[in-house]
């Protein structure tokens, strides 16, 4: 009886500096091998990007918004936008990072087109430092 392999070996080429940085982080995090680190990196890449392809699936995740508290009217604008998408938003968390910088975390659940609409509306109407949606399919 032939044994079925659950892993597949593959070869990957890297620029030397990228691999040196990767190895340094592996050592600092105590990750035992490049294979283990690459598997973790690939899983993260899939989680961060797979939502972009899942039009019909229900997704859950967060929208991270980094912005300046100094921008007048910005917090009210964020609140108004969220009120227009209450059916998607499970919760929000506001964190004061510095006297100027704030981080808002919006937890969402819904279909990609609706979450994309919320994300694009925030991006288009509000002057932000950074906006990052992180979504995964609900199985």
Same domain (yes/no): 80, 107: yes
CATH of residue 132: 3.30.70.1150
Provide φ and ψ at 127, rounded to 5°. Answer: -80, 110
pLDDT of residue 126: 72
What residue numbers bound the domain in which 26 lies?
16-50
For 65, residues 6+ apart whose C-beta sits below 8 A from its C-beta are 78, 103, 104, 105, 106, 122, 126, 128, 130, 131
Output the pTM of the full model.
0.67
Same domain (yes/no): 90, 124: yes
Dump pLDDT digits (tens) for 45-90.
877 666 666 677 888 999 999 999 888 888 899 999 999 999 999 9
Same domain (yes/no): 65, 37: no
Q: Is residue 25 part of a domain?
A: yes
Q: Is residue 6 part of a domain?
A: no
Same domain (yes/no): 41, 69: no
Same domain (yes/no): 125, 69: yes
Residue 41's nearest CA partner among 54, 58, 55, 29 is 29
Q: Is residue 45 part of a domain?
A: yes
Q: Is residue 11 part of a domain?
A: no
């Amino acid at each position: 009886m032939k044994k079925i392999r659950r892993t597949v070996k593959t070869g990957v080429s890297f620029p030397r500096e990228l691999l040196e940085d990767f190895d340094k982080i592996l050592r600092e995090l105590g990750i035992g091998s490049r294979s283990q680190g690459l598997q973790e990196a690939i899983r993260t890449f899939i989680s961060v990007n797979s939502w972009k392809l899942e039009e019909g699936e229900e997704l859950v995740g967060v929208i991270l918004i980094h912005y300046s508290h100094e921008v007048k009217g910005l917090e009210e604008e964020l609140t108004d936008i969220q009120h227009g998408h209450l059916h998607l938003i499970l919760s929000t968390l506001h964190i004061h990072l510095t006297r100027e910088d704030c981080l808002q975390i919006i937890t969402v659940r819904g279909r990609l087109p609706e979450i994309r609409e919320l994300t694009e509306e925030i991006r288009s109407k509000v002057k932000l430092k950074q906006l990052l949606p992180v979504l995964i399919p609900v199985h």
